[in-house]
Amino acid sequence: LQGTFVLGLPYALLHSGYSGLFLIILAAALCCYTGKILITCLYEENEDGQLVRVRDTYEDIANACCKRLPPKLGGVIVNVTQVMELIMTCILYLVVSGNLLSYSFPHVPVTEKTWSAIAFVTLLPCVFIKTLKIVSKLSQLCSLVHFIIILVVMTYCLTQIHQWSWAKFRLSIEFEDFLVSVGVIIFSYTSQIFLPTLEGNMKNPGEFSCMLNWTHFFACVLKTTFALTAFLTWGEETKEIITDNLPSFLETLVNLCLLAKALLSYPLPFFAATEIVYACISRENHSKYRSPLFSLGVRGSFLLLTLLMAMFIPHFAVLMGLTGSVTGAAMTFLLPSLFHLKLKWKKLSFLEKCADISVFTLGFLCSLAGIVCSIKRLLKVFG
């Protein structure tokens, strides 16, 4: 919830004005809601009226909703969507790592692609990660580095408090720029892909809803505070990645922290993607698909795939925006609300049905707008 997208929130406020502050709060509430209804779809009542977990994954939910379609088609669509988003995220971390190393060491005669390859070498141990427990330790380190970055930026901003002015906020906004801001704000909260696994690994799954409330509340407070202080400091000069606004003596330090964050962030989406693919392949009762060597081969292939795509696909950032508009909106808004309506329709109140339909409609509009903007950018890039 406090990912790299957070560094783009001040820029989002630049293009959304006062409405951006409202969007940060609204996005937290919506993403928290869709996370809860997604987990609700994992459970059914037994004969005694007790809730029992009858499904384990996003795929299981999709298959339960698509029984009348060809066998397991729903699960296949969900898995492909999940893997696309996760792999794109991994590639983005490699691209960002190469970019940060290039900016941190400008006098070294090495291209960004070569820097990405060097960063890739440090990620080779990821092929040996077999449990979520190891990933969680790396994610804790990632969170620590992230808060160091936030602390450095906010401390500098507070030293410039004499320059703050609310007059820097826009009252009028341009529609296309506003849509970009909506995408940045909404997708800074996305975590639905990981929630079924997370809830299934909790010592007390009954506390999941409470955990989701508090994490989204604190994420909202931190995002609002950070975005507001940074934007009030730089105003119209706010850059897409706020760390680029820092003076040179801080920029190198923060860039190296961002590099560490990107490399520590990589294992989570990588682990999730490879687990999905390995589970799909090894589902058949073939012993060769269940061997440790085969598992190692799957992870190694995915690791190499992320490097090749990071190095050889031109204009990857624009393609990432297009993919994110499709997969991000689908996994965060469209599918949770659709599945909840399908599986729980008879038990939902009128207000709950209206809430799900509203979330689905909003997700569809966000996705459509994001696709249009991304295609326009692709047309400009390719002439």
The band of 133, judged by pLDDT with boundaries at 50, 70 and 90, is: confident
- Range 140-163 average pLDDT: 90
Query: DSSP assignment of 218-246, as one string?
Result: HHHHHHHHHHHHHHHHHGGG--SSGGGGS
Q: What is the pLDDT of residues 64-78, one digit of tens each?
A: 888 777 767 788 888
User: Which pLDDT score is estimated for 172?
Assistant: 65
Query: DSSP assignment of 282-304, as one string?
Result: TTSS-GGGGSHHHHHHHHHHHHH
The band of 8, judged by pLDDT with boundaries at 50, 70 and 90, is: confident
Q: Across all residues in the chain, what is the average pLDDT?
A: 85
**171 pLDDT exceeds 70?**
no
Question: Where are the chain's structural domains?
Answer: 5-382
**359 pLDDT exceeds 90?**
yes
Cα–Cα distances in angstroms (integers) from residue 349 to residues 213, 353, 355, 356, in the given order: 22, 6, 10, 11
The band of 288, judged by pLDDT with boundaries at 50, 70 and 90, is: low
- 72: alpha, beta or left? (left if phi > 0; alpha if psi -120 to 50): left
pTM for this predicted structure: 0.83
- Range 345-354 average pLDDT: 93
Cα–Cα distances in angstroms (integers) from residue 58 to residues 34, 139, 331, in the given order: 13, 22, 9
CB 342 within 8 A of CB 322: no
Q: What is the pLDDT of residues 213-255, one digit of tens each?
A: 999 999 999 999 999 999 999 988 888 778 888 888 888 888 8
Cα–Cα distances in angstroms (integers) from residue 96 to residues 88, 167, 174, 285, in the given order: 12, 33, 28, 40
User: What does CATH list as the number for 5-382?
Assistant: 1.20.1740.10
